Amino acid sequence: MRYAYIGLGANQGDLAATLQAAVQSLGSLEQSQLIAASPFYVSAPIDATGPDYLNAVVCIDTELEPYGLLLHLLEIEMVFGRKRRGADARRNAPRNIDLDLLMVGDLIIRSAPLVLPHPRMHERAFVLRPLLDIAPDLTVPGHGAAVGLLARVSDQIIAPFRPEEAGD
């Protein structure tokens, strides 16, 4: 078994309910156990337009190989209505769910379907802030301590989610 970290994001639909249901789905993956889920955060889109995102990070302990885990994440996205063709396929387009495999142990993989660690995670406060909530001493392979990486993106807007302010 090894720890895998998964980033969750959504900016369409009932954001909190969708992320909560996605966390539950990740917790019921075969050969895996949910270890931790971060609080939710609101973040502005980066290199995109559209409404703010709701983000979180989940840690699971899994026996699944990275490619198998990626397939499960894509399947969960489909169950939640994510389309990877047409208008939804544009990079950074608004979406009702996005699951990104951030890290699997200390593996470094560079292949067409999978890059680990996730190629932009070290540049994204919406990944690093919730990641540090559940793994404060984490080191991102090839990039260094996550806490130091977060300091480099301190200009990115991210705030704790407050359900009473959501207006849902």
- Sorted by sequence, the CB contacts under 8 Å of residue 157 that are 6+ apart come out as 43, 44, 125
Question: Do the beta carbons of residue 33 and residue 59 sit within 8 Å?
Answer: no
The count of C-alpha atoms lying within 13 angstroms of the C-alpha of 23, restricted to the half-sphere facing its C-beta, is 20
For the annotated catalytic residues, the residue numbers are: 82, 95, 98, 100
Distances (CA, A) of 166 to 15, 16, 137: 9, 9, 31
List the beta bridge partners of residue 160.
41
Contacts of 145 (CB under 8 A, 6+ apart): 137, 138, 139
H/E stretch holding 6: strand 2-10
